[in-house]
Chain A
Amino acid sequence: MTARKSVVVTGVGATTPLGGDAASFWDGLLAGRSGVRDLTEDWAEALPVRFAARVAVEPSAHLKPVEMRRLDRSAQFALIAAREAWKDAGFEGKFAEPNRLGVMVGSGIGGVTTLLNAYDDLIHKGPRAVGPRTVPMLMPNSPAAYVGLEFDARAGVHAPVSACATGAEAVGHAIEMIRSGRADVVLAGGTEAAIHPLPIAAFANMMAMSKRNDDPQHASRPFDVGRDGFVLGEGCGILVLESAEHAAARGARVYAEAAGVGFSADSHDIAQPEPDGRGVAEALAFALEDAELSAGDVKHLNAHATSTPRGDLAEVMAFRKILGSAAEDVAISATKSMHGHLLGGTGAIESVATVLALHHRQAPPTINIETLDPEVTLDIVRDKPRALPEGQIAALNDSFGFGGHNVVVAFRSV
């Protein structure tokens, strides 16, 4: 039986509320900065939630006017981050073997602002005002397709969707795509640009969002007793995943090994997590098995922890259950405390953060914990970054989405 292909991470890109590239994103994480700001647009006034984590750069500073015109904001982020990741991986221009390049980039909701703006045009100016590019802009596979076009990806261009698990799910499927031999290199990640009155009103009315309008920068407070819901963010993370063999042959710099993935489904509720963390525990167990890791190998977790009363706890319980006493030696970071919840993009930027944590041997902090929830009896990295142990270690990134989708991606240091 041939040994299973090893998959590594050779490039990262990120367009986030903490910084417009991976380096500034990482700096922001280590510094414990908040990317959350008041929403100053007129439309925000009437909303129950009037703050969010917008991307720290203007896409127009990084894209040509014709690209700005043809891409929904979610695809704009994806193209910027993908170009950064590609260059970071040491590639230039289109891929030399297009049939060996794939794309796995999802979005939770796709081109929602394009859709809503086009609807406004339809109502106020009539059908002729709906531009011929509206469909390519709003379709949720648009970010993936544009990334594929940019680098000439022919092995397969895929756009998985699983709400807040999307970004991590994409990384997981990309690992499998390379292991199966379908591609040598895959650009993987997720993107979201849904800061607009409609999604905000919808999430707020589900009682899922924090309403801390008087103190936005302290609203995203995973594991704190006063947490009252998530803070909406936007942005994109892209990782270049590559077969270890292919990376070695070209002398690529390797950040970490993408050691494995675990998937499960809650089958409990369309929006609530299964309260005992049953599904999370299963995904964790599968990830450890797939990555050939024992509980004791894991030294860092980038938690999903969205700052909701129930979700944060279910995750902690599941983590304890699967790792047992080894859970206490894991440095846990809830980075949504800083960058907010990027929905389809979150699992991807958090995968980037996990990879960089292994590469730099530093766990980023969780900010905004004034009083740690007494039921969270695990080691949460608070306020300042913490050095990770020497030697070969593993780190996990977990993401769970509305609909009960659970994904845990495992990375190993190199």
Chain B
Amino acid sequence: MALTQEEILADLAEIVEEVAGVDKDDVQMDKSFTGDLDVDSLTMVEVVVAAEEKFGVKIPDDAVKDLSTVGDAVGYIQKNQA
């Protein structure tokens, strides 16, 4: 069953909170991972692996490059979810 954008955002926010210690309320669509949320490249890999598991999507390394904002990630997951 396809998740809505809000549902994906909520789940992704929980992942970012667990993996990066960022308050999940700060994980909003317009926020940039590196700039606003202080998510460095190592942490980003952890976010991606957790997201792949949670949403059943594959996020190849060269796709990760284009995921600058939370919105980019939500959009990618929504488009590619099983």
A76 to chain B, nearest CB (A): 15
In the complex formed, the residue of A with least CB distance to B22 is: A66
Q: Residue B46 at the A interface, CB < 8 A?
A: yes
B18 to chain A: which residues have CB within 8 Å? 65-66, 69
7 contacts between A and B (CB under 8 A): A64-B21, A65-B21, A66-B19, A66-B20, A66-B21, A69-B18, A132-B42
A4 to chain B: which residues have CB within 8 Å? none
Q: Residue B49 at the A interface, CB < 8 A?
A: yes
A132 and B20 contact, CB distance less than 8 A: no
Q: A67-B21, A131-B46 are known contacts; what are 9 more A-B pairs with Cβ within 8 Å?
A: A64-B21, A65-B18, A66-B21, A128-B49, A131-B49, A132-B45, A132-B46, A133-B42, A133-B46
B49 to chain A: which residues have CB within 8 Å? 128, 131
How many residues in A have their beta carbons less than 8 Å from beta carbons of B? 10
Q: Which of B25-67 contact A (CB under 8 A)?
A: 42, 45-46, 49
B45 to chain A: which residues have CB within 8 Å? 132
In the complex formed, the residue of B with least CB distance to A130 is: B49
Q: B18, B42, B45 — which one has the most chain A CB atoms within 10 A of its CB?
A: B42
Q: Which of A40-69 contact B (CB under 8 A)?
A: 64-67, 69
In the complex formed, the residue of B with least CB distance to A67 is: B21
Q: Report how far A128 CA is from B42 CA in the complex, Å.
A: 14
> Which B residues are closer than 8 A to A by beta carbons?
18-21, 42, 45-46, 49
B42 and A69 contact, CB distance less than 8 A: no
B21 to chain A: which residues have CB within 8 Å? 64-67
In the complex formed, the residue of B with least CB distance to A68 is: B21
A69 to chain B: which residues have CB within 8 Å? 18-19
In the complex formed, the residue of B with least CB distance to A66 is: B21
Q: A64, A128, A131, A136 — which one has the most chain B CB atoms within 10 A of its CB?
A: A131
In the complex formed, the residue of A with least CB distance to B41 is: A132
Q: Report how far A65 CA is from B49 CA in the complex, Å.
A: 18
B19 to chain A: which residues have CB within 8 Å? 66, 69
In the complex formed, the residue of B with least CB distance to A136 is: B42
Binary CB contact string for chain A from 63 to 85 against chain B (1 if under 8 A, 0 otherwise) = 01111010000000000000000
Q: Report how far A302 CA is from B42 CA in the complex, Å.
A: 43
* Across the A-B interface, the 9 shortest Cβ-Cβ residue pairs: A66-B21, A132-B45, A132-B42, A64-B21, A132-B46, A133-B42, A131-B46, A66-B20, A65-B21
A132 to chain B: which residues have CB within 8 Å? 42, 45-46
Q: Report how far A65 CA is from B21 CA in the complex, Å.
A: 7
Binary CB contact string for chain A from 113 to 140 against chain B (1 if under 8 A, 0 otherwise) = 0000000000000001001110010000
B42 to chain A: which residues have CB within 8 Å? 132-133, 136
Q: Report how far A136 CA is from B19 CA in the complex, Å.
A: 15
B41 to chain A, nearest CB (A): 8
Q: Report how far A67 CA is from B20 CA in the complex, Å.
A: 9
Q: Report how far A153 CA is from B46 CA in the complex, Å.
A: 27
Q: Report how far A16 CA is from B20 CA in the complex, Å.
A: 28
A125 to chain B, nearest CB (A): 10
B60 to chain A, nearest CB (A): 12
In the complex formed, the residue of A with least CB distance to B45 is: A132
A408 to chain B, nearest CB (A): 41
A59 to chain B, nearest CB (A): 15
A136 to chain B: which residues have CB within 8 Å? 42
Q: Report how far A69 CA is from B50 CA in the complex, Å.
A: 14
Q: Report how far A133 CA is from B45 CA in the complex, Å.
A: 9
In the complex formed, the residue of B with least CB distance to A131 is: B46
A131 to chain B: which residues have CB within 8 Å? 46, 49
A138 to chain B, nearest CB (A): 14
Q: Report how far A290 CA is from B49 CA in the complex, Å.
A: 54
